[in-house]
Structure 1
Amino acid sequence: MREITHIAELRSIARRKIPRAIFDYVDGGSYDERTLHDNSADLAALRLRQRVMVDVSQRTLATSMVGEAASMPLAIAPTGLTGLVHGDGEILAARAAQAAGIPFCLSTMSICSLEDVSAAVEKPFWFQLYVMRDRGFSQSLIERAQAARCPALVLTVDLQIQGQRHRDIRNGLAVPPRLTLHNLLDIATKPRWMQRVLCGKRKTFGNLMGHVAGADNLATVSQWIAGQFDPSLSWRDIEWVRKLWPGKLILKGILDLSDAQRAAASGADAIVVSNHGGRQLDGAASSIRALPEIAERVGDRCEVLFDGGIRSGQDVLKALALGARGCMTGRAFLYGLGAYGERGVTRALKILRDELDVSMALTGTTNVRDVTRALLWQEGEGPEMRMETARSWADVA
């Protein structure tokens, strides 16, 4: 692997190495992808305050996230179909996270199962849960997560109905993939990807195999999943999960202050300010716009994590400055996985860590726990931060 210095380079390499349908699933968002774009653009528009003549010879990035020690304030986010980006992708990413000393979160819609990943790593990992129409199956997943010694359950709350993702529809993305002439020709040009996926432990959703009737038929599995997202999901279901789950409970997908307050009152140990990576409600606010008010109003009652647009260590630093305790990254590690497998994930995490470390030093910060809003450049004398795009921007004072 040549020297890679930027997440964008890993993205470019992954785009060449994996089929278009899989890359677009990772890279894309819903509808016109406005929220997907804003997640990154609004982070990029924030400016850091350069400080000099501060002794930064001794720095630490170590912190804790939801009671778990972490070498830096970052966790690998739950992402579906990771094992189709690279064979055994969930296992490889979990190993890279373990080596880096940060939390890894496995998705319900993973290719490798809970048991597969648990057997491959020493450090217990977080598990992400969708509460489905079949509450019995959801309960069985909670029980399996307990058996795997998962210390935290990440309950995704923003997928009652799936947002339309134009790229996936155009590409015929499904499990198994829809074999159009275009897809066949594209896959034929990616023989190494195909070999790795075919040699992986599983070729479909591992957490469903053996637990869903007819799961030996891939088409049946896909149909079952399509009917399982539940528009009737409510706060009563959060109470139900809280009673079943004895460990840490994290609610992911909070973007509105009233929802954040309700989440804090529900007994959740943490929330993740997130718009599902711009893959659900297009036109929703970017995650970084929503973060400051939520962190200020509920940060004393539950831990606030951040997800949405993390592509650099500076993005992590900016989210911390606006009140996040830690961040989650999905696409950045998936680009590394698609580019170089486990080594690529390791490289992505090192890029993020190094950028965070250097940016801390150049802002006169020695301890990641000491990051505050004072680290951000603010125009004029008021507390309002002006965006490069000249769009109005919520008061963060």
Structure 2
Amino acid sequence: MSKMSELAEKNPWRRNPWFETVGEAQKRARKRLPKTVYSSLVAGTQAGITVNDNMNAFTELGFAPHVIGTTPERNLATTVMGQELPFPVMISPTGVQAVDPDGEVAVARAAANRGTAMGLSSFASKPVEEVTAVNDKTFFQIYWLGSREDILARAQRAKDAGCKGLIVTTDWVFNVGRDWGSPEIPEKVDLAAVAKLAPEMITKPKYALSWFRDGKLLIPDLTAPNIAHPDQAGPTFFDVYGQWMNTPPPTWEDLQWLREQWDGEFMVKGITRMDDAKRARDIGATAISVSNHGGNNLDGTPATIRVLGPIADELGNDLDVLLDGGIRRGSDVAKALALGAKAVMIGRAYLWGLAANGQAGVENVLDLMRMGLDSTLMGIGKNDVADLTRDDLIIPEGFERIFGG
């Protein structure tokens, strides 16, 4: 039995079947999911330059370990956007999570069981009220869709539901076309759509059976209930797309206005340029996420870990700097913290866990991140995540990117 398996056996949080790496979770997700569904989890725009660089850039960073000085117990705790977290890994908001019938509610429960925060997408398949009911550390992600009144109504709904802050996402333009083809997404999942996907579903019986409960078929919800008012049915994604295309992109003045309306924690997500980071600070943001939407926006944008350090050096004392993109293991988390991130947000990693084993699979991924970070701290001789610095890394010449003044 491997060391990780031994730890899992001793871990009271353990659920079967345990997987020992995020890579294994991805393999199980690919094996369990229909091709179309799995493809949506690995999608990147155009040639996939950015989605690949997000991961590959981490491999260019090395560690410079001390072998003496660590203690038997290490402190992984931090505070992000006013929330105390036992370890610096949060759930990044992702759209409709039809890889599991319980979707975002299962993810929120998993995050709550590990004490960490949940980012909930505007395009989630579950209402915000159901998510905050199981995780009181929920941040609501918001897109610039519709009028100011529409946007403010969604923010107010999130506040009324108990969300602790807003994540304003600026790094997505509905650009999902890839050189090797994108999965076809049905306008709605009705009997016609189910029949069209039947050949794929037949080859994935475990996934198909997961949508039966009490002898009834649960049709995956491809609507966005959090875009609508609480007493209205959520629009389809194609309806949302039409609304998106008819909404002028936000200006910094628009974000300033929204910040003035929201008196809680406020993150601007999608930062890669220094000048944009400074503008986010200047409008009163309490946090930024250095993000390129996981490689699902403008292909050719550098990996987020390449641009993190200079931004964190400049602004880390002014607001919480987070990173998302390419995190696959606890050592990746350590590298981001050493370059100045307060915490990281994960996306594909937990979705693969959800696909592999539902809520327990998400907990499994979070456990791997926590244990991997802890073992990395031990390996480099540090006792606290707050003590990680650039001196703990070997950074190749030319690794970092600085642009935008």
TM-score, length of structure 2 as denominator length: 0.87
Match in the other structure for 1:171: 183
Q: Distance in 2 between matches of 1:135 and 1:169?
A: 35
Task: Give the residue type in structure 1 aligned to 2:24.
Answer: E
Moved more, 228-237 or 304-313: 228-237
Residue 242 of structure 1, aligned match among 234, 246, 259: 259
Residue 319 of structure 1, aligned match among 321, 336, 344: 336
User: Residues 11-26 of structure 1: matches in 2 within 5 Å?
Assistant: 11-26=26-41
Match in the other structure for 1:205: 223
Note if contact 1:72-1:102 (Cα within 8 Å) is conserved in structure 2: yes
Deviation at 1:206, TM superposition (A): 4.4
- Aligned residue for 2:381, secondary structure, equals coil
Moved more, 168-177 or 232-241: 168-177
Say whether residues 1:270 and 2:270 are aligned partners: no
Match in the other structure for 1:125: 138
Residue 117 of structure 2, aligned match among 78, 82, 103: 103
Residue 368 of structure 1, aligned match among 385, 392, 403: 385
Q: Distance in 1 between matches of 2:206 and 2:48?
A: 30
Residues 43-69 of structure 1: CA distance to partner in whole angstroms, max 9, x if unpaired? 121101121122321211111111210
Match in the other structure for 1:196: 210
Deviation at 1:85, TM superposition (A): 1.2
Q: Distance in 2 between matches of 1:94 and 1:213?
A: 23
- Aligned residue for 2:84, secondary structure, equals strand
Match in the other structure for 1:28: 43
Q: Distance in 1 between matches of 2:220 and 2:153?
A: 20
Residue 286 of structure 1, aligned match among 288, 292, 303: 303
Say whether residues 1:151 and 2:161 are aligned partners: no
Inter-CA distance 232–55: structure 2 relative to 1 (3 Å threshold) = closer
Q: Distance in 2 between matches of 1:122 and 1:35?
A: 32
Inter-CA distance 56–115: structure 2 relative to 1 (3 Å threshold) = same
Residue 60 of structure 1, aligned match among 45, 57, 75: 75
Q: Distance in 1 between matches of 2:322 and 2:256?
A: 21
Inter-CA distance 214–95: structure 2 relative to 1 (3 Å threshold) = closer
Residues 348-378 of structure 1: CA distance to partner in whole angstroms, max 9, x if unpaired? 0111111100010010010011111111025
Q: Distance in 1 between matches of 2:371 and 2:77?
A: 13
Give the number of aligned pairs: 379
Say whether residues 1:393 and 2:399 are aligned partners: yes
- Aligned residue for 1:236, secondary structure, equals helix
Backbone CA RMSD of aligned residues = 2.4
Match in the other structure for 2:364: 347
Task: Give the residue type in structure 2 aligned to 1:116.
Answer: E
Residue 138 of structure 1, aligned match among 129, 133, 151: 151
TM-score, length of structure 1 as denominator length: 0.89
Deviation at 1:36, TM superposition (A): 0.1
Task: Give the residue type in structure 1 aligned to 2:307.
Answer: A
Moved more, 109-118 or 5-14: 109-118
Q: Distance in 1 between matches of 2:375 and 2:155?
A: 40
Note if contact 2:43-2:176 (Cα within 8 Å) is conserved in structure 1: no
Structure 1: give runs of 5+ residues left out of the alignment. 379-384, 387-391
Q: Distance in 2 between matches of 1:44 and 1:175?
A: 39
Task: Give the residue type in structure 1 aligned to 2:388.
Answer: V
User: Residues 179-194 of structure 1: matches in 2 within 5 Å?
Assistant: 179=193, 183-194=197-208
Deviation at 1:209, TM superposition (A): 7.5
Q: Distance in 2 between matches of 1:267 and 1:198?
A: 47
Q: Distance in 2 between matches of 1:377 and 1:70?
A: 28
Inter-CA distance 16–175: structure 2 relative to 1 (3 Å threshold) = farther
Note if contact 2:224-2:237 (Cα within 8 Å) is conserved in structure 1: no
Deviation at 1:204, TM superposition (A): 2.9
Q: Distance in 2 between matches of 1:247 and 1:290?
A: 27
Deviation at 1:222, TM superposition (A): 3.0
Residues 166-200 of structure 1: CA distance to partner in whole angstroms, max 9, x if unpaired? 38964212442583987331123233323434656
Q: Distance in 2 between matches of 1:184 and 1:135?
A: 42
- Aligned residue for 2:243, secondary structure, equals coil
Match in the other structure for 2:3: none
Inter-CA distance 377–210: structure 2 relative to 1 (3 Å threshold) = closer
Q: Distance in 2 between matches of 1:227 and 1:212?
A: 21
Deviation at 1:298, TM superposition (A): 1.5
Percent identical across equivalent pairs? 33
Task: Give the residue type in structure 2 aligned to 1:142.
Answer: A
Deviation at 1:162, TM superposition (A): 1.8
Note if contact 2:47-2:179 (Cα within 8 Å) is conserved in structure 1: no
Task: Give the residue type in structure 2 aligned to 1:173.
Answer: I
- Aligned residue for 1:261, secondary structure, equals helix
Deviation at 1:135, TM superposition (A): 3.1
Residues 210-231 of structure 1: CA distance to partner in whole angstroms, max 9, x if unpaired? 6399957xxx623321122244
Q: Distance in 1 between matches of 2:349 and 2:219?
A: 24
Inter-CA distance 361–203: structure 2 relative to 1 (3 Å threshold) = same
Q: Distance in 2 between matches of 1:101 and 1:297?
A: 30
Note if contact 1:49-1:376 (Cα within 8 Å) is conserved in structure 2: yes
Note if contact 2:29-2:355 (Cα within 8 Å) is conserved in structure 1: yes
Deviation at 1:20, TM superposition (A): 1.6
